[in-house]
Amino acid sequence: MTATARRQLSPAWILFILTGLNLFNYLDRFVLSAVLTPLQKDLGLGDNQAGWLATAFIIGYFVTSPVFGWLGDRCSRKWLIAIGILVWSLGTILTDSRRHLR
């Protein structure tokens, strides 16, 4: 094999990886609903404020989806997915580390 040749993933593996990422994407959307009550207690939020928090979360998805759809048509999707996973992971790490700092 030459230095320029790369090993390609089979279509089945690519489908498996993308299906797994899509599963986590859908799970991520429902995490806020699952932790809303403890979050309200922790942050001292009323029901109205918690409702606005959930609304802001969904509006964030609503606003960014067309932007990333447009980018997906014009940029490397591989890099968009990688950057998305990186940002998602950083958010998770920062959220978890903030919790342990208290």
Taking the alpha carbons of 102, 84, 68, 61 in that order, is the dihedral positive or negative?
negative
Q: What is the value of pTM for the model shown?
A: 0.55
pLDDT tens column, 40-79: 998 899 999 999 988 898 898 889 889 989 999 999 998 9
pLDDT tens column, 19-44: 998 898 788 778 888 888 988 998 89
pLDDT tens column, 90-101: 988 887 655 555
What distance in Å separates the CA atoms of residue 84 and residue 82, rounded to the nearest whole number? 5
